[in-house]
Amino acid sequence: MELSVALERCLLGGKSGAGAAIDLSSLVLVEGKVCWDLYIDALVISSDGNLLDSLAAAIKAALSNTGLPNVVLGASPEEQPEVDISDEEFLHTSSVPVIVTLTKVGKHYIADARSEEESQMSSAVSVSVNRNGQICGSTKRGGAGLDPSVIYDMVSAAKYVSQQLISVFYSEIAAAEASEE
């Protein structure tokens, strides 16, 4: 449940939806009546720490080729919409962020901490950052409070790491798509 809440905070922004990684309005077909439901289920087989970042990467990869069929709406809003399957329509996921968690151990920050490193942490800050370098959400865990300057440093480091990760991520997706063709 804790991971689910953390993913929601990092991917869907605040309660208003501002800064959301996925533009939920893009799932609306008829305002207030018809929309796509998007469910994300993940099965964790094993973990050596930093599960939140791994789940976010898996979600980004899965959504990178999620197709939404064209929908042709009937003449009146009460009619059942006609679904026209298309290979051309995809959920736009370029804004889906990566999540970078920095674990504070002593005076150091560790990105992609293993279980043994996490066991020594005082706190951890997870920051979701999209392709444009915008922060989409964040969450903190661990009992220790953090000085605002430490949070600023951790967020800055997470933004830097995220841009490196996004670059690698998109090149891997492109390589996978090219090998399929």
Task: Give Cβ neighbours of residue 102 (< 8 Å, ≥ 6 apart).
Answer: 109, 110, 111, 124, 125, 126, 127, 154, 157, 158, 161
87 or 152: which carries more pLDDT confidence? 152
Give the residue extent of every domain in the chain.
2-180
| CB 117, CB 103: distance < 8 Å | yes
Kindly state the average pLDDT of the residues 167-176. Answer: 85
pLDDT, tens only, 130-162: 888 888 888 888 777 888 888 899 999 999 999
> pTM score, two decimals?
0.77
100 beta partners: 127
pLDDT, position 102: 92
> What's the CATH fold of domain 2-180?
Ribosomal Protein S5; domain 2 (3.30.230)
- pLDDT at position 131 is 84
CA atoms within 13 A on the CB side of 68: 16
pLDDT at residue 158, rounded to an integer: 92
Give CA–CA dist 134/137, Å, rounded: 9
